[in-house]
């Protein structure tokens, strides 16, 4: 796996260096929810073979070749591309390109309850096939969804963010409807199979619905015991697939859920912390401050302005 990790900021700097005005990126701020969309006709340059720390969905009308991990995928018909951020990939086009692509960061995808369903599916996962070939009817639908997102992203409509999320969700559903060719677990290497089980188990716990049912699995040891494997085996498998530790993944998912609970529920800080498994409010306060650089109370008050 490539050790190079391209951030959204790196991406914007790269397209500026190539003197490509793909889209306006002046509103990007690290750590803030971010979404952007562009037409693909401006992207005639080859992209580098890297992992990304952001999500990308491409609606491809044209021909070209993806190097995706150890696989080479040739595109010669209308396609949706859902790459996993943890798999390095590059793209080289073959002739004129049409369609659209959108990119969004972790905060946009994980910070919105609208997308909770998709976190439990095979979309953007290391074990799933990243391409979905479209029929003529599906191509028309994809065109409609992306055209609307593009128009909304460049409009002054006050509720455009909510509408963009709805159209993006429609694109993701369109992809899911066609995942009949997803890779069967028996075809996967042992480390990927174990990571898949861990990921499914982790995401099944969310969203959290009530302080009466606090989070049960919170540590690598908890997950290892549930999966009947040694914790060291789980840790090494997860790290080999994602380049992240098991603890990092669990803590990040808990942090994203904590933001959702603070934003979208009327629970007090102690209830949010308890539901996430923190017996003492001070422990949750320290956990949240470490990840958000602000207290949960300030975050909640700011979110409700």
Give the CATH number, domain containing residue 294: 1.10.10.60
Model pLDDT, residue 31: 75
Angle at 165 between CA 115 and CA 204, to 5 degrees: 5
Q: 286 and 176 share a domain?
A: no
Q: 158 and 258 share a domain?
A: no
Q: What is the pTM of this model?
A: 0.86
Question: Looking at the 3D structure of the chain, how many domains does it have?
Answer: 2
Enclosing domain of residue 260? 185-303
Q: Is 224 exposed, middle or buried (0-12, 13-18, 19+ CB in 10 A)?
A: buried
Q: In this predicted model, what pLDDT tens digit does every residue of 262-291 receive, in sequence order?
A: 999 999 999 999 999 999 999 999 999 999
Q: 219 and 151 share a domain?
A: no
Q: 169 and 221 share a domain?
A: no
The residue from 181, 207, 230 where one domain ends is 181
Q: How far is CA 175 from CA 5, 88, 134, 212, 291, in A?
A: 26, 21, 9, 35, 32
Q: 82 and 136 share a domain?
A: yes
Q: How far is CA 144 from CA 57, 82, 130, 251, in A?
A: 15, 18, 21, 37
Q: 171 and 59 share a domain?
A: yes
302 or 124, which is more confident? 124
Q: 202 and 258 share a domain?
A: yes
- Mean pLDDT is lowest, of 14-23, 83-92, 132-141, 258-267, for 14-23
Q: What's the rounded Cα separation, in Å, for the pair 32 and 243?
A: 23
Residues near 110 by beta carbon (within 8 Å), at least 6 away in sequence: 119, 253, 256
Q: 34 and 161 share a domain?
A: yes
Give the CATH number, domain containing residue 68: 2.60.120.280
Q: In this predicted model, what pLDDT tens digit does every residue of 152-202 receive, in sequence order?
A: 999 999 999 999 999 999 999 999 998 766 767 777 899 999 999 999 999
Q: 281 and 191 share a domain?
A: yes
Q: 120 and 224 share a domain?
A: no
The residue from 130, 150, 181 where one domain ends is 181
For residues 65, 67, 72, 78, the Cα torsion angle rounded to the nearest 10 degrees is: -40
Q: 160 and 235 share a domain?
A: no
Mean pLDDT, the chain, rounded, equals 90
Q: 141 and 117 share a domain?
A: yes
Q: In this predicted model, what pLDDT tens digit does every residue of 205-260 receive, in sequence order?
A: 999 999 999 999 999 999 999 999 999 999 999 999 998 999 999 999 999 999 99
């Amino acid at each position: 796996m490539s050790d190079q990790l391209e951030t959204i900021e790196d991406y914007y700097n790269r397209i500026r260096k190539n003197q490509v005005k793909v889209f306006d990126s002046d509103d990007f701020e690290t750590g803030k929810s971010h979404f952007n969309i562009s037409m693909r006709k401006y992207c005639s340059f080859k992209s580098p073979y890297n992992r990304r720390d952001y999500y990308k969905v491409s609606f491809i009308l044209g021909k070209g070749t993806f190097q995706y991990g150890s696989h080479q995928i040739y595109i010669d018909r209308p396609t949706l591309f859902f790459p996993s951020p943890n798999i390095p990939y590059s793209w080289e086009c073959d002739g004129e390109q049409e369609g659209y692509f959108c990119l969004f960061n972790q905060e946009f995808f994980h910070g919105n309850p609208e997308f909770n369903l998709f976190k439990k599916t095979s979309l953007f996962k290391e074990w799933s096939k990243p391409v979905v070939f479209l029929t003529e009817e599906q191509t028309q639908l994809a065109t409609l969804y992306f055209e609307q997102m593009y128009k909304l992203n460049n409009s002054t409509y006050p509720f455009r963010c909510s509408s963009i999320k709805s159209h993006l969700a429609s694109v993701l559903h369109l992809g899911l409807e066609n995942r009949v060719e997803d890779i069967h677990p028996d075809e996967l290497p042992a480390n990927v199979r174990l990571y898949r089980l861990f990921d499914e188990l982790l995401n099944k716990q969310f969203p959290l619905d009530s302080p009466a049912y606090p989070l049960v699995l919170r540590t690598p040891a908890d997950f290892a015991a549930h999966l009947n494997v040694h914790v060291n085996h789980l840790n090494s498998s997860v790290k080999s697939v994602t380049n992240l530790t098991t603890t990092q993944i669990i803590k990040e998912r808990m942090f994203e859920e904590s933001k959702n609970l603070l934003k979208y529920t009327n629970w007090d800080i102690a209830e949010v912390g308890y539901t996430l498994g923190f017996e003492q409010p001070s422990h949750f306060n320290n956990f949240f401050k470490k990840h958000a650089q602000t207290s949960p109370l300030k975050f909640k008050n700011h979110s409700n302005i």
